[in-house]
Amino acid sequence: MSQLLDIVLVAMTLSLAVWTVMARDVFSATVGFMAFGLLLAIIWVQLAAPDVAMTEAAIGAGASGVLFLRFIARRDALGASIGKPRPDDAPVPTGLRIACGALCGIVAMALGIAVLALPSPAPSLAQAAAASLPRTGLGNPIAAVLMAYRALDTLLESVVLVLALIGIWSLSPDSAWGSSPDPFPSPAPAGPLTLFARLLPPVGIIVGIHLTWIGATAPGGKFQGATVLAAMWLLAMMAGLARPPAIGATWLRVLLAAGPTIFLAIGFSGWLFADAFLAYTDAAAKPIIVLIEAVLTPSIAAILAMMLIGPPALAHMRAPDT
């Protein structure tokens, strides 16, 4: 029975992937991609990996999808402002299409071969990860991997997010630097969305904090929690209840940098109190990890939200001061 569900899931995911690649316009492809992410999340649940499933649903389907939709809207608006109502997809040269297809085919084949070539049973560090779990004071082995065994990866991830945001911001024209990103187009009709944006955030903020907090002992964690928090902020901005902050504002920059900075500082203090970079003493492991998650979550939430709002640009191309 469960095998039948698996087969249906895999068939749906594969056909949706093909459909997304074949889709003619960007909007349809984006919608297909978001649905693909949700199906993938269900597959992760079937594989008993709820942590990955939540990340896939929140970041892969949710945040990435909104990022693409926002890109399409901005592209069309930018096109309209320079007199090209739909700067539509120029036909891609056939040679490039073939090259892309071949490259994707090679990558897919290499991955397939790698998976099939795995020895059975596959090598696993799960035993070792579970054995050291009591030393971290955590109950969720995933959190132990992310925050203790491989904390360096998580540190670099949070730094990469800041770098990505700097990359997005640097797309803004000189005249717009430091000002607010373009607000979302005011929704029409405003009523339903405004009501929704007033009702949902109180619940969503609690859910976001809960996801982060529970991550130490059960599936969840700061990325999933931060995505929910970012979504609540974005919802308020979409409904026009909050304005995007100026990207030059000091409070915003402190908020964005605080998480990675404190994480890095704790990493260096590992040399003083434990024996290596990012090492924690056994007694202090749990409080330190909770502290890192607590400072990292608001930063990641703010970074994700600012990434989705995008750089300040359009308003400055139309009018000098808006």
Q: How far is the CB of 229 from another protein (least distance, A)?
A: 16
Q: Is 192 exposed, middle or buried (0-12, 13-18, 19+ CB in 10 A)?
A: exposed
129 binds another protein (CB under 8 A): no
Q: How far is the CB of 203 from another protein (least distance, A)?
A: 7
67 binds another protein (CB under 8 A): no
Instruction: Point out which span in 57-65, 96-104, 197-205, 298-306 binds another protein (CB under 8 A).
Output: 197-205
Question: Is 4 or 319 the residue whose CB approaches another protein more closely?
Answer: 4
Cα gap 302→227, rounded to integer Å:
9
192 binds another protein (CB under 8 A): yes
Q: How far is the CB of 189 from another protein (least distance, A)?
A: 5
3-state DSSP assignment of residue 218: coil
CB crowding 122-134: b at 16 or more within 10 Å, else e = eeeeeeebeeebe
73: nearest Cα among 235, 305, 309: 309
Instruction: Point out which span in 27-35, 186-194, 250-258, 277-285 binds another protein (CB under 8 A).
Output: 186-194
Instruction: Point out which span in 21-29, 51-59, 126-134, 185-193 binds another protein (CB under 8 A).
Output: 185-193
Q: Distances in Å between the alpha carbon of 277 and those of 61, 212, 268, 273?
A: 34, 24, 6, 10
Per the CB < 8 A criterion, the answer to whether 62 and 49 are in contact is no
Per the CB < 8 A criterion, the answer to whether 137 and 214 are in contact is no
Question: Is 53 or 144 the residue whose CB approaches another protein more closely?
Answer: 53
165: nearest Cα among 64, 304, 260, 263: 304
Question: Is 187 or 270 the residue whose CB approaches another protein more closely?
Answer: 187
Binding residues for another protein, total number by CB under 8 A: 11
Question: Is 63 or 288 the residue whose CB approaches another protein more closely?
Answer: 63
**From the list 188, 265, 276, 319, which residue makes contact with another protein (rule: CB under 8 A)?**
188
Cα gap 84→252, rounded to integer Å:
35
Question: Is 235 or 305 the residue whose CB approaches another protein more closely?
Answer: 235
Instruction: Point out which span in 19-27, 91-99, 104-112, 181-189 binds another protein (CB under 8 A).
Output: 181-189
Question: Is 112 or 192 the residue whose CB approaches another protein more closely?
Answer: 192
Per the CB < 8 A criterion, the answer to whether 216 and 138 are in contact is yes
**From the list 100, 103, 203, 284, which residue makes contact with another protein (rule: CB under 8 A)?**
203
240 binds another protein (CB under 8 A): no
Question: Is 19 or 177 the residue whose CB approaches another protein more closely?
Answer: 19
Question: Is 38 or 155 the residue whose CB approaches another protein more closely?
Answer: 38
Angle 285-309/64-81 helices, nearest 10 degrees? Answer: 30
189 binds another protein (CB under 8 A): yes
Q: How far is the CB of 308 from another protein (least distance, A)?
A: 18
**From the list 39, 200, 214, 257, which residue makes contact with another protein (rule: CB under 8 A)?**
200
Per the CB < 8 A criterion, the answer to whether 208 and 286 are in contact is no
Question: Is 210 or 243 the residue whose CB approaches another protein more closely?
Answer: 210
Q: Distances in Å between the alpha carbon of 237 and those of 79, 115, 187, 197?
A: 23, 44, 11, 9
Report the alpha-carbon angle 204-210-212, nearest 5.
110
Q: Name the site residues for another protein (rule: CB under 8 A).
A: 187-189, 191-193, 195-196, 199-200, 203
